[in-house]
Chain A
Amino acid sequence: MQLDANTSMDLKIVSLISVGKHPTSGRARRAEQDGRAVELGLTLAEAGRGKQNLTVLHAGDSQQSALRSYAGMGLESVRVIQLRESADAVSPLTEYLRKHVPDIILTGVRAESGESSGMVPYLLAEKLGWPVVPRIANIVSIKEGVAEVLQALPRGQRRALTVRLPFIASVDNAAAEPRQSAFGPANRALMEQQQAGSETDTVRSEWSELPARKRPKRLKVVKAKTAADRFKAATAKPQGSGGKVLKDKTVTEQAQAIFDLLLEEGVLR
């Protein structure tokens, strides 16, 4: 991590955290992606002046014990905006962020409980008028108020982006794994409660929520008109529609044909 001397002095980072849910047991836990967001925030803060530049923020219930597992990563305090379970978190968060004006906001991509629509970074960005960088793997450098960010793409690829501070980023699973949570510091950490006015999420209260049903497997329907076609569909080997075969061509021509196809598909970088 390379930080510019001028900007790192007053670089304020906020990591937004939520309560995770273990995929098998369903117990509350530290969420995978939010843990990574805190980890990235801690690394950024440590590269700068110190940990006090990082605020870890949660909107919800301050009594939730899963929040302690974030604090166990070496945080002195976790700030919690006290909300009822049915409340909408976006407007109190926006209010808080407008008041404190951080430089970087880090979130997970999708929450592990609730609606998990992944809309929070986008809604905050829209309300604050900031750019949003989805699915980042790392922040490479911050120089003169411009951050160079590595974005995680499917198939293990990375894309480099530059974005001017302040910005919101959601942290992908490709980012560095969160450090271990220690029990003692977790218990000693301070839960700074804040009261905030909030509205009930009325739209959501009309929805019905059930444990996930197993999705039906897609059937392979053969729409053959004759018995011969059906037989062929059932027995034939999967085959391409007949490709180009280069036989009795010179080596140069053959290699050129392969090269052209690779170039056309855009796999040569």
Chain B
Amino acid sequence: MSDSDYSHILRRDPRGERIARNRLHPLHSTVAVQVAETLGPSGLLRKNPHAVGFIGPNGIKRIDRLKGNAIAITGRRNAQSSQEVLLPLHQVSEPDFTIVVVPDMVGGRLTAHDKDILGQAHQLARSMEAGVAGESTGAGAVMAVVFGVSKEESFDKAGVDRLLLLDGAEYEGYCPEQQVAALEQVEARLKPEYWLFPDSVHGGTDLGSRLAARLGERPATQAWQMNTETTICRGASGSTDITRDTPRLLMLAQECANPVDETRHEALSIEWAPVQAVLPELHDLGQVAVDPNAIPLAEAEFILAAGNGITNWEQFHATAKALGATEGASRVAVDDGNMPRFRQVGASGTWVTARVYLAVGISGAIQHMQGIGQCDKVVTINTDAGCDMVKRADLSTIGDAEKVLDELINLVDTYRQQALHNQNGEKEGAKNAA
């Protein structure tokens, strides 16, 4: 056991206490706290109010009624409380079976839905390890197959024992055929016990259905409760519950299980021979520009919100246009008539789910913070460094919003022009080559 395990225990020093009580002890002067009262040069008794008392273990000032005859307790306990607890590491050296999870990885990160499914995978693995009628199947590993570039840093805490990261050029963009080919190879090589997909519009349903059709498995869709024997899934567009035997391939609904939170996992990368490139029948031409203000505020991905700190509204609208962001507003901005009511974010407006929320001149009233509770990344431009919005934000800039927005428009414009320039260059290069 390391020292840190016991460091939060308050330790008394009986000898020190004894010396402090005994004013005749030769070491008394070294232990006792200096009294805050001194005789001034004129013989007047001087009290130093700042020296009265000491800081207790909770960080609260305590006034010592024992005139410095009680010893101060050292503040070790205080330091411990903020220290992060290291969770126990769950290791699977030689897995006897594998459960494969294919997370959505929206924006390159695990979503809450993905984490629930990893939690469900571990529940399944534990109950299989416990075995049916005392017959154990050995240790199992949960493997995540991740396509494309990943920005996720906490695979270990989410419960990934093995990680297969396929981030080659052929996995860029929309490429379900290539992904299915890779999953087929996983099936051939590992014969996973279960395939778990998130039943989501982010591609989990699509990929799961494709694989199910390819493997000839009959999947459970919209499954919300499962164990090794039975699965309950929603049927008839959510109006019935179908209880059925658990198939090998499942598409799980949100909140099907609790995410892993008591263990750390290895997240070992797996060496994988490159999958043969499939000749795709679907060609991705990329996303089409959509008018951001036509997207409902509740489901917009990127919101630029204005508050009381905005004075130049023309510039704000220009910024939203340049960034391609949906416009939002705090209540003050709406009440003052600068923005329409349906743009209001917060408790009495819309609860937004944006991935990136850029708040300009919003101090962050609690009602507003409730409305942005589900946002992933919050960026703020504000003049007050102590406001609630700055505490919540992942990136805050303290300064004049007008100037920062001006500079931001310039940056985006140069970025767009460069991208356009590069595209034209490529086209010309292709022409020359032809």
Contacts and interface: CB of A to CB of B under 8 A. Distances in A.
A245 B400 contact: no
Q: How large is the interface on A (under 10, 10 to 19, 20 to 34, 35 or more residues)?
A: 35 or more
A267 B397 contact: no
B288 A160 contact: yes
A126 B354 CA distance: 36
Contact of A210 (B205, B213, B240): B240
A150 B356 CA distance: 25
A182 interface: no
A240 B392 contact: yes
Nearest to A269: B324
A157 B241 CA distance: 32
A84 to B, nearest CB: 18
B320 to A, nearest CB: 12
A211 B240 contact: yes
Contact of B234 (A133, A212, A244): A212
Nearest to B326: A156
Overall SS of chain B's interface: mixed
Contacts of A160: 284-288
Nearest to A164: B281
Contact of A162 (B239, B241, B283, B394): B283
Contact of A206 (B236, B245, B325, B411): B245
Contacts of B261: 223
**Which of B240, B287, B410 has the largest number of chain A CB atoms within 10 A?**
B240
B283 A163 contact: yes
Interface residues of B, number: 87
A211 B415 CA distance: 54
Interface stretch (A61-69, A75-83, A112-120, A186-194): A112-120
A114 B236 contact: yes
B224 A215 contact: yes
Contacts of B296: 156
19 contacts: A116-B222, A122-B209, A126-B214, A150-B288, A156-B299, A157-B290, A159-B285, A159-B287, A161-B283, A206-B244, A207-B243, A208-B244, A209-B243, A237-B369, A240-B392, A246-B395, A261-B356, A262-B379, A266-B108
Interface of B: 81, 107-108, 151, 174, 177, 201-202, 205-206, 209-210, 212-214, 218-219, 221-222, 224, 234-245, 255, 258, 261, 281-290, 294-296, 299-302, 323-325, 355-356, 358, 366, 369, 373, 377-379, 381, 385, 388, 390-400, 403-404, 406-408, 410-412, 415
